[in-house]
Amino acid sequence: MKYQSQRVAYWFFAVCMLLLSLQLVFGFIMGFAHMGYDGLHSVIPFNAARASHNNLLVMWLLAGFMGAAYYIIPEEVDREILSVKWAYIQLVALVVVGVTAIIGFHFNWWEGRKFLEIPRPLDYLVVVDVLLFIGIIGGTILKAPKKTTTSLVLFFGLLMMALLYLPGMINTDSQTHDSYWRWWVVHMWVEGVWELIMGAILSFLLIKLTGVDREIIEKWLYIIVGFTFLSGILGIGHHYYYIGTPKYWLIVGGVFSALEPIAF
């Protein structure tokens, strides 16, 4: 470990593994319920288990991405992170929001939108927490003596991850419009910015583990970014047809969705 502030990442990874384990528990609860062994239904109804299972997926991925950023950025830009204290505060705040959301699901406190079930007050807290994280990472890069393609792609992916959460908070009375914005959040995360984040992490690992020249790896990182945006944005269209949009979205979405694995 090159910098002391990288130790923050360990706590994020520990939370990540804990949330993943909890997601598996809720998955088993649903699996046994499907088999007819639903003895926990009075305590954990199937709908609460499903919402918890889906949202824990988002939470442990976010914790993992944040931990990776706190570990990778210092090495890439040659300086400690901007504030270790605020990084720990940001982690605690993320955990508090997650615990509150999971407990709330069991008391029917939710929005009922797949992957975006958490209630609106918690939405605002998530946005504040992620913006704090972006501020710490962005400030670290801004004050750093050097900047690399890997660090900038990672930061850009994390920034877009934060901004693309906002369409899911748009209020609308139309089910079609609501589904449209929900798919924007879910799929621009999965098929857009998450691929940028994973591409940057992959770049860092390949440089460290293989000894291949950074210039070669980062040229391929540009290609990953290009393919991700080309395929991911239009690939969302495979959902548009089923919410009442024109028929051509079925083929546009299908073709570009099939191209998405090319990025990696």
Best mean pLDDT range from 23-32, 116-125, 174-183? 23-32
Which of the four pLDDT bands, split at 50, 70 and 90, describes residue 246? confident
Residue for token pair 């900038």: 152
Q: Is the pLDDT score of 24 beyond 90? A: yes
**Does the pLDDT value for residue 190 go beyond 80?**
no
- In angstroms, the CA 149 to CA 156 distance is 10
What one-letter code names the amino acid at 42? Answer: S
More reliable by pLDDT, 10 or 260: 10
Quick one: pLDDT at residue 145?
87
Q: How confident is the model at residue 10 (pLDDT cuts 50, 70, 90)?
A: very high
- The band of 257, judged by pLDDT with boundaries at 50, 70 and 90, is confident
CA torsion through residues 191, 192, 197, 198, sign = positive
pLDDT, residue 235, reads 84
Within 10 Å of residue 123's Cβ, how many Cβ atoms? 18
Tokens of 114: 């797949």
Give yes or no for a contact between 243 and 176, defined as CB atoms under 8 angstroms apart: yes
Mean pLDDT of the chain: 90
| Residue-wise pLDDT tens digits, 62-96 | 999 999 999 999 999 999 999 999 999 999 999 99
The CB-based long-range contact list for 115-118 (8 Å cut-off, 24+ gap) reads: 115/54, 115/55, 115/57, 115/58, 115/182, 115/185, 115/186, 116/168, 116/182, 116/185, 116/186, 117/51, 117/54, 117/55, 118/55
Look-up: residue for tokens 């319920």? 33
Per-residue confidence (pLDDT) for residue 82, from 0 to 100: 93
- Segment 170-178 mean pLDDT: 85
- CB 37, CB 29: distance < 8 Å: no
Q: What is the pLDDT of residues 210-226, one digit of tens each?
A: 988 999 999 999 888 88
pLDDT of residue 15: 97
Q: What is the mean pLDDT of residues 229-243?
A: 81
Percent of the chain whose predicted confidence (pLDDT) is above 90: 58
